[in-house]
Chain A
């Protein structure tokens, strides 16, 4: 296969507030958007002809990936006006794809090894993986190397093999799609008509991200393999240990202590006296004031954290200004997303552009919507909608 279709139009509604101003594929994990991992995996396997279906907040994708040249690929963008489903998304590319092509979701983090063998299989085929929590996904039963049955979100666990959403198709697929909106339904249709769909398994990385706190587990998984590089400056008295990436023009000031795996973007100002503990990723242009500890967190670009703060197990999106003495510790909480409650161990999740006064305490599991403002010395908890004001 030399061509791939990436479905990147989705919003990722359950990932709010982080998907309010960007599509799911543009969530940053260890310094790179998820889409970039997909593209790099394809490029490393020689697939350089890419068609990307975009929709929700597509300018974010254009701005970051452009024509794909920097990754050695060629990207053609197709706009899906209404996000109706994966099969509907695929029909949008009918006029630009060749005879055979791969289909990949733009919001699952993969590596080159994940699809290394799959790029050579013929249509039609699906890539599968064994996971610990198959209940969220479509569960697949295999017989003789072919797909026997798909069961979406089953009641009980019978098998652990799930659908990664990565397919190998030929143009015949457009006949099968018809009016179906989702690809798993199309596969069901194919099976019902007696078509053979190859079943292949991968044991390599395939990470899904559904809820805001998943960002931290993906961060951890990826940061384990980063290559340490130092493009910035470490002042005398600054200390760095383990797998640490320091971006261009960043400064680690005296008395700061960085223990990897940690990735720090470019033009950051860390310290003095700041402690950054694993596994943490910090975006570009971030200012972390003295006597702050950041532990196991993901900090977006342009964030400013005031002095004496504690940030643990938290996700802070771009452009937030957190006043001095900001405290976000983690704990076991029940977090509500849509109608379900999830028991997780997490700190604060703060959307883009928020402005918090000094001495704000964020209870574990708090979700703060974008562009919110919190007055000094407030305690915040639960779920705050976008543009909230707490005073």
Chain B
């Protein structure tokens, strides 16, 4: 059972895994393999309480000895841990000199030994004492032979409790336990708990508290592949539905939803409360969405927008007066983004979070949260959550846009047409497969674009490099001639994203320049675009749409391009090497 739950957590990390089960003694089995492989070799183990872990290595390479769970010297305490113990070296040194034996290179191993050190008959007290010595982040589950309970604690890494009928579960994330219960309690930072089959006790800073449970509305179904070969393909195909659902939520609901309120409040802040600029923070794919958001908000709300990579934001000073901060994080647990958000709240800035996970840490730090409601995204590479983030940004801008009514009506019409246009792109899969065949032969690639298509190029490059391991770079088309041109040639294909806006003519010039340097050129363009068809070596034909919405169409095409290229190269698409879904470390 533990292994089945772990399988559902593999998107968080999958270079090693292990389980420990306790009755009168602790039985443990682990290795640096995927869960499916462990399932084949693991001996049967019985117990009343157990823990499991899948790993994404931070300290210590993936290996059997470094995999979790980790034990103490006596082998009667087992611990699994998500996070980083920043002072582990000092602790390890100290514990070694007190006679403890260490076998792994991990930071986690200090924890069971600390618990062993403080153990005087009560696991709860021992864990509490151990945590006092630890600095850093953690979500911990500890068990001891002979005590049918789990002692758990959370600080900076996510941890949830699944409430069952005469059985209880603790996990890093909801999909792990959805098969068994839909009732979930999200723990807060500095929470400490003791869980038995029949009781749940949670303490915060020493005093007992009750935490509200929530009913999760995802079904295990949504977290399953249902016929598709990869989760990523499933999630790409879900995008028309995701767009339609967002439209449904925000267009004509009879009762304003909480999200609609949050949306209106956020937009109202911009319009009414003298917000003079917007600061957007994000990492990875969300950062690309934020860049597109910048164009959208500047175009429709006429307010300057600054976009920062969250991890960089933490390291220099800002002057923030009358700024609205918007943080985009799919998981709501991205450590870099959370840190930036906390900093902003500390200096009194208003923060709006856009996230896909209800009850996530980001939603608790922000003043307001707008949920993207795209359903769980299992594939490590973000697809539908990116599109869903774009939809929220479109709505944020359109709700209180300063453009005239006629233009607004056209925009709304454009939005309404999005689901079928995206479906059209999905239906023209076959042409994209051919281009993927061509692309798969290269080791490098450039993606170029201008204006609103520039972040699209960035995202296209990111998707390709994530899952196919081809070294792809996104570049502003105007920047290419200031350096990267030296890299062009027959073995460096260029993918140009062209929108029918005021950047069109200069893009044509850029394409000619690229062609003159002999790089094979693939262009994304509207169906009847003859000028591009003549210039480019090959074209991905896409349905025509207002330039403002072209990122949605273009990104979906680039997602498919990346997917089919990776498939041609036999890459493990849903679980690319070295990557994890929700990056909860810095």
Contacts and interface: CB of A to CB of B under 8 A. Distances in A.
Interface string A279-302: 000001101000000000000011
Interface stretch (B21-29, B98-106, B418-426): B418-426
B424 A353 contact: yes
B94 interface: no
Nearest to B429: A59
A165 interface: no
Contact of A319 (B233, B253, B421): B421
Contacts of B252: 233, 249-251, 267, 269
Interface residues of B, number: 33
Question: Which of B224, B227, B252, B424 is the most central at the interface, judged by chain A CB atoms within 10 Å of its CB?
Answer: B227
Nearest to B421: A319
B419 A62 contact: no
Contact of B416 (A77, A248, A287): A287
Given A62-B237, A249-B251, A319 B417 contact: yes
B419 A301 contact: yes
B392 to A, nearest CB: 17
A285 B248 contact: yes
A378 to B, nearest CB: 18
B221 A302 contact: no
A184 interface: no
Contact of B426 (A59, A249, A301): A59
Contacts of A44: none
A391 to B, nearest CB: 12
B87 interface: no
B227 A302 contact: no
Given A319-B417, A353-B420, A285 B247 contact: yes
B417 A321 contact: yes
Interface stretch (A67-75, A133-141, A148-156): A67-75
A269 B251 CA distance: 10
A249 B221 contact: no
Contacts of B225: 67
A58 B421 contact: no
A89 interface: no
A70 B416 CA distance: 27
A5 B439 CA distance: 39
A284 to B, nearest CB: 6
Report whether over half of chain B's contact residues are helix, strand or loop; otherwise say mixed.
helix
A61 B227 contact: yes
Contact of A67 (B226, B249, B424): B226
B227 A67 contact: yes
Contact of A66 (B224, B423, B426, B427): B224
Interface string A71-86: 0000101000000000
Given A233-B252, A251-B252, A54 B227 contact: yes
Given A58-B227, A75-B227, A285-B244, A318 B420 contact: yes
A285 B421 CA distance: 13
A371 interface: yes
Interface string B376-402: 000000000000000000000000000
B424 A285 contact: no
Contacts of B91: none
B220 interface: yes
A154 to B, nearest CB: 39
B248 A248 contact: yes
Given A69-B219, A302-B416, A353 B248 contact: no
A70 B426 CA distance: 24
A304 interface: yes
B405 interface: no
Contacts of B254: 232-233, 249
Interface string A232-252: 110000000000000011110
A318 B421 CA distance: 10
B12 interface: no
A352 interface: yes
B265 interface: no
Contacts of B442: none
Interface string B142-162: 000000000000000000000
Contacts of B253: 249
Nearest to B251: A267
Nearest to A248: B248
Interface string A260-289: 000000110100000000000000110100
A267 B227 contact: no
Nearest to A250: B252
Nearest to A22: B427
A59 B237 contact: yes
B180 to A, nearest CB: 15
Nearest to B544: A355
Interface in A315-374: 318-319, 321, 352-353, 371
Contacts of B429: 59
A63 interface: yes
A65 interface: yes
Given A21-B427, A285-B416, A353-B424, A62 B227 contact: yes
B228 A302 contact: no
B234 interface: yes
Contacts of B413: 304
Interface in A27-68: 54, 58-59, 61-63, 65-68
Nearest to A66: B226
B543 interface: yes
B248 A249 contact: yes
Given A69-B219, A249-B251, A371-B424, A353 B543 contact: yes
B238 interface: yes
Contacts of A66: 221, 224, 226-227
A302 B420 CA distance: 6
Contacts of A353: 420-421, 424, 543
Contacts of B220: 69
A54 B429 CA distance: 17
Contacts of A21: 423, 427
22 contacts: A59-B233, A63-B238, A65-B226, A65-B227, A66-B227, A67-B221, A69-B220, A232-B254, A249-B249, A250-B252, A267-B252, A269-B251, A287-B416, A302-B244, A302-B420, A302-B423, A319-B419, A319-B420, A319-B421, A352-B420, A353-B424, A371-B424
Interface of A: 21, 54, 58-59, 61-63, 65-70, 75, 77, 232-233, 248-251, 266-267, 269, 284-285, 287, 301-302, 304, 318-319, 321, 352-353, 371
Given A63-B238, A67-B224, A352-B420, 15 more contacts: A21-B427, A59-B429, A66-B221, A69-B221, A69-B224, A75-B227, A232-B254, A248-B248, A249-B251, A285-B416, A285-B419, A287-B416, A318-B423, A352-B424, A353-B421
Q: List the 3 shortest-distance A-B pairs measured between CB atoms, nearest first.
A: A319-B420, A66-B226, A62-B227
Interface of B: 219-221, 224-228, 233-234, 237-238, 241, 244, 247-249, 251-254, 413, 416-417, 419-421, 423-424, 426-427, 429, 543
